[in-house]
Amino acid sequence: MDTTTSFRLAIADDHPLFRGALREAVLRQFPAVELFEAGGFEDLQALLEREADIDLVLLDLTMPGVRGFSGLMYLRAQYPGIPVVVVSANEEAGVIRHCMEFGASGFIPKTSAVDTMREAVAAVLEGRVWTPPDIDLSTDGDRETKALVARLATLTPQQVRVLMMLSEGLLNKQIAYELGVSEATVKAHVSAILQKLGVESRTQAVIAASKIEGGTWAQTAN
């Protein structure tokens, strides 16, 4: 790849020091790159709405405004044309596999060497998929979990946001206020979520999501 090619990348991570390290790694490989940074998911949303033609998002799984894979799920649904590479301290094979199942174009462990980070970014910008070569992703998860991942992947961006708020125990009227919509709209979203996940209650929906998140979705829905 021509290192003088100009790209527009967004780094979304709530740790300034790691954002700086990742920025340095990218700039040394691609000095013509235009970088944007976000310290929380709301900042990232605003950035993507404001800036056109972002070529790649480097996304931390755990930052203010997201739970588990919800940030990745939202981005893939809302911005299907923008590749997303997850950059995370969690290097479990199951987590990496779920990221790829939810549509990530790559996964970079935060413990990776700078050269490895550059290699990963370059691969994705070339249209390839990159995962750590030393981690075995060939083993499929259990059938029930794979089916749940597939169902979660069908949620719309707004349904992902509603599910996140359900996990925080918010009532319909509180969700409606946060999203600026009517309670009837929220009820319709909740009904659609229950139908897509194949469950009968709000609590079951949150518990279902938590099964693949390693407990990172709070199970506090009323």
Q: Residue type for 212, please?
A: I
CATH of the domain at 41: 3.40.50.2300
CATH of the domain at 182: 1.10.10.10
Range of the domain at 186: 143-211
Helix (H) or strand (E) holding 57: strand 56-59
Q: Are residues 52 and 160 in the same domain?
A: no
Choose among 32, 42, 69: nearest CA to 155.
Answer: 69
Q: At what angle do helices 16-29 and 114-125 cross, to 10 degrees?
A: 60
| pLDDT tens-place string over residues 143-172 | 777 788 889 889 998 998 899 888 888 999
Q: Give the pLDDT mean for 14-30.
A: 89
Q: Are residues 23 and 72 in the same domain?
A: yes
* Residues 137 and 97: beta-carbon distance below 8 Å: yes
Rounded to two decimals, what is the model's pTM?
0.82
- DSSP, res 60: -
| pLDDT tens-place string over residues 36-46 | 999 999 899 99
| pLDDT tens-place string over residues 87-105 | 998 888 888 988 998 899 9
